[in-house]
Amino acid sequence: MVSADSAKTKPVFSPAPGTMPTACIALADGSVFYGRGFGAEGVAVAELCFNTAMTGYQEIMTDPSYAGQVVTFTFPHIGNTGINAEDDESNDPVAAGMVVKWDPTTPSNWRAAETLSAWLARRGRIGLGGVDTRRLTRAIRRQGAPHCAIQHAADGQFDVAALQERARAWSGLVGLDLAKDVTCAQSYRWDEMRWAWPNGYPRRTGAGHKVVALDYGAKRNILRCLASAGCDVTVLPATATADEVLAHNPVGVFLSNGPGDPEATGAYAVPMIRDIMARTALPIFGICLGHQMLALALGGRTLKMNHGHHGANHPVKDIETGKVEITSMNHGFAVDGQSLPDGVIETHVSLFDGSNCGIRMQDRPVFSVQYHPEASPGPMDSTYLFDRFVAAMAATA
């Protein structure tokens, strides 16, 4: 790492003789890393995190939970499988940019329809290659997820001082409601199920359990898992009221994943959840931000983590069964397990740091988890949670 004073003369990445860096990332503490740009040119300011997943970079970049973040990938082989339209978790990349160790290579996968660089350029997202991602990751772990400014400039011209100042001036994710930015504009029905060989995504037919899914930044594969479990899914915007939810006569309510500070989103989501619980006994299932919304509605608190959990290899223990699941995670805020009131049981904890990863109400079919049972990318150890939700609806219908 280099200091602000030496940033212009001592880059962390030294290009090959006769070439120059075409991208850089400046942290709020003054550190600067240089590399080679790919994708779109321009500048982006965001929080910097790292993700340890070995697969699924396309799903990660299009996960709405990454709004307001630049993702450093610790796995070096990013771009090898290319891009295809089927693996998007939303309409466009949501992460502000990506940082990788090695430049993306030519795709070598039968499903590839486009290169990573071309896809990022077409979608207006910045990529940085040739960066010492191990060193950068250690900086993130040491100081917490820092604010950063990234730039891709083909001419190699950077105003480093200006980038550092933009990183320092950025307000950060605390207090920021990003769910409103990534939610759907209007309600819609969802019937696409999980991918299956050889025909891709089948459509659900016939009757199903009527579920209203609140979209705080819902990943498509979560909705597919609900449909595959037998749910007739209607998706509503994040700001939907309890009256709007109940107008669809659901037998279950789902609270989706999403970005930003849960307390900020909770300003409108928590009253809605409390209203539904006060007026009905409907089963409720939440994932990620939805888990945090439920915890806040039940009287718990949330807190900002040092560098969060981002990866597809996170061990979580089910306290009630003793079972350990390997899970996919993506969150920078967490529920404070010590804040849960009587009647709310902590069901899961992270085996990395002991943080809360799941809750349930003692006397009602209301539960949630911090991690991502739908995977995409990640293991499938926890897909049973969708069946648990369906069983709760069947028992209360």
Catalytic residues: 288, 372, 374
Distance from C-alpha of 222 to C-alpha of 286, rounded to nearest angstrom: 11
Nearest in space to 369 (alpha carbons), one of 346, 343, 353, 351: 346
Q: Are strands 32-39 and 126-129 parallel, antiparallel or unpaired?
A: antiparallel
- Whether a cis peptide bond, with omega within 30° of 0, leads into 11 is no
How deeply is 287 buried, as exposed, middle or buried, from its count of CB atoms within 10 A (0-12, 13-18, 19+)?
Answer: buried
Phi and psi based region of residue 230 (left: phi greater than 0; alpha: psi -120 to 50; beta: remaining): left
Distance from C-alpha of 181 to C-alpha of 170, rounded to nearest angstrom: 18
Residues near 295 by beta carbon (within 8 Å), at least 6 away in sequence: 301, 302, 335, 340, 344, 356, 359, 368
Angle (CA) 128-172-262 rounded to 5° is 115
The alpha carbon torsion through 77, 46, 122, 64 (nearest 10 deg) reads 80
**CA-based max dimension of the chain:** 70
Q: Which residues pair with 242 in a beta bridge?
A: none
